[in-house]
Structure 1
Amino acid sequence: MKKTGVMNSNISRVIADMGHMDWLGIGDAGTPVPKDTEKIDLSVRSGLPSFIDVLKEVLVELEVQKVYVAEEIKTENSKQLEEIKKVLPDVEIEFIPHSQLKKDLSVSKAFIRTGEETPYSNIILESGVIF
């Protein structure tokens, strides 16, 4: 049995398979996932697990060099944006239209669905390298 880190076997597998510049999405319960993108559904009920808790756990194992979030988060969910900045203080954030973020999920390795129900709580993580 795995002793530390992400215990969900699907998330752990996807993280282990990530290469430099691959993408992994994490988002709220309402995010439409393209049919060819693997969906790892963690949602249990409204708010459980939260977007930020899942993001924090993924970041324990995944090296991230850049993230993409919806431009709309600045005005529609600034609290969530501040939380993202706290857990990724030294990572470049690129703001893109929400419609583009949803389209970009089609080239992500996977999408992790949380129980989050606040608007624009979605992110695409671009993997970095550790050397």
Structure 2
Amino acid sequence: MKKTGILNSNISRVVADMGHMDWLGIGDAGTPVPPETEKIDLAVSTNLPSFTQVLKEVLKELAVQKVYVAEEIKKQNPQQLENIKVILPNVEIEFIPHSELKQDLRRAKAFIRTGEETPFSNVILESGVIF
């Protein structure tokens, strides 16, 4: 049995397989996931687990150089945007239309669905390198 880090075998596998500039999505319970993108469903009930809980755990193991966030989060969920900025203080944030973010999930290795039920609680993480 794995002793530390991400215990979910699917998330652990995807993170271990990430290369430089690969994409991984994390988002709320309502995000439509394209059929060609692996969906790792963690949603148990409302806000369990939360978006920020999952994001923090993934970032313990994944080097991230850039994050893509829906433009709409600025007005419709500014508190979640602030959470993202605090969790990723030195990472570039690129804002794109939510419709584009949903389309871009086709490029992601996987999408992790949380129990989050606040609007626009979605990110695409672009992996960096550790050297």
TM range (shorter): over 0.9
Q: Which amino acid aligns with 2:126?
A: E
| 2:108 counterpart of 1:108 | yes
Residue of structure 2 equivalent to 1:34: 34
1:39-94 Cα deviation digits (max 9, x unpaired): 00000001100000000000000000000000000000000000000000000000
Gap runs ≥5 in structure 1? none
Residue of structure 2 equivalent to 1:121: 121
Gap runs ≥5 in structure 2? none
Q: Which amino acid aligns with 2:36?
A: D
Number of residue equivalences: 131
In structure 2, how many angstroms separate the alpha carbons of the residues matched to 1:32 and 1:10?
Answer: 19
In structure 2, how many angstroms separate the alpha carbons of the residues matched to 1:4 and 1:65?
Answer: 24
In structure 1, how many angstroms separate the alpha carbons of the residues matched to 2:2 and 2:91?
Answer: 28
Residue of structure 2 equivalent to 1:80: 80
SS at 2:30 equivalent: coil
In structure 2, how many angstroms separate the alpha carbons of the residues matched to 1:44 and 1:26?
Answer: 15
Identity value in percent: 79
Give the drift of 1:16.
0.2
In structure 1, how many angstroms separate the alpha carbons of the residues matched to 2:20 and 2:95?
Answer: 21
How do residues 81-96 of structure 1 correspond to structure 2 at under 5 angstroms?
81-96=81-96
List 4+ stretches of structure 1 deviating above 6 A: none
Q: Which amino acid aligns with 1:36?
A: E
In structure 1, how many angstroms separate the alpha carbons of the residues matched to 2:75 and 2:5?
Answer: 33
In structure 2, how many angstroms separate the alpha carbons of the residues matched to 1:77 and 1:21?
Answer: 27
Q: Which amino acid aligns with 2:74?
A: K
SS at 1:86 equivalent: helix
Give the drift of 1:126.
0.1
SS at 1:10 equivalent: helix
